[in-house]
Amino acid sequence: MKAGVLAVENTRAEEIEAQFRAHIADRAFPCVGAKSAAARNLLEVVVAHDMRSGWDDLRIHNRLLDWADRYRDDPEGLRSMAVIFQQPSDIDEGTFERLLWERLQSFAEKDNWLGQPYDTDVSPDPDDPHFSLSFGGEAYFVVGLNPAASRPARRFAYPTMVFNLHDQFETLREDGRYERMREAILERDRELAGDINPMLARHGESSEARQYSGRAVDDGWTCPFRDPRSEKS
């Protein structure tokens, strides 16, 4: 790639990252966990090209592995990793949901191919109430944002997947801080949207897979994701 083109791409990525950080910092944004991560410089941002393509999948997966390693070395503080796709610019909720699961399936295939273990604290079955994703031996859940999201809290100018480590929220539960944070998020979401997101549930009550894309799904919804290690667990 020519130096001039690379410089333009880097500048564009920096602009998108700055836009996302401003979005998180906005007073109306309800997730206090993401705000905490950003304030403590524990919010990582990866700007990728096109959510319809696997072009960046290996790079993103490598970042997830590195992130899991660094968390094990230093598990203090809430942290999040946002993967922002520059394309497609015109996307509806259903398409975003499909592409989100396509990318997650690709990351899971890579994790399996590298022989990474599944986090034994969670289930690889997306129908299980204790389901979470696992990359690099650490459990993750995902919060999807996209321009056409029906919930205001899930809207952002670019299709985005925010990865959060499951273990850090278990630590909050043990410390008695999780419920306070959850209530603060729910109240801020109510102020923003006029009601509380009906898809939200605590881990263990229903599968968190239903929450990832942000689209309201009915009782008959079937998760399209199957981790290749699920039959081995």
d(CA 233, CA 226): 13
Confidence of residue 198 (pLDDT cuts 50, 70, 90): low
Instruction: Note the pLDDT tens digit of each residue in 109-118.
Output: 999 999 999 9
What's residue 179's pLDDT?
Answer: 67
Whole-angstrom distance, CA of residue 120 vs CA of residue 143: 22
pLDDT, tens digit, 9 for 90 and up, residues 53-91: 999 999 999 999 999 898 888 877 778 999 999 999 999
- For the whole prediction, is pTM greater than 0.75? yes
CA pair distance 135, 67, nearest whole angstrom = 10
Give the containing element (helix H, strand E) for 145: strand 138-145
If pLDDT is split at 50, 70 and 90, which confidence band does 172 have?
low
pLDDT of residue 2: 64
- pLDDT of 4 strictly over 70: no
Give the mean pLDDT of 130-150. 94
Q: State the pLDDT confidence band at 1, using cuts at 50, 70 and 90.
A: low
Which three-class secondary structure state does DSSP give residue 216? coil
Helix spans in the chain (H): 3-25, 32-39, 57-73, 93-113, 166-175, 178-193
pLDDT class of 36 with cuts at 50, 70, 90 = confident
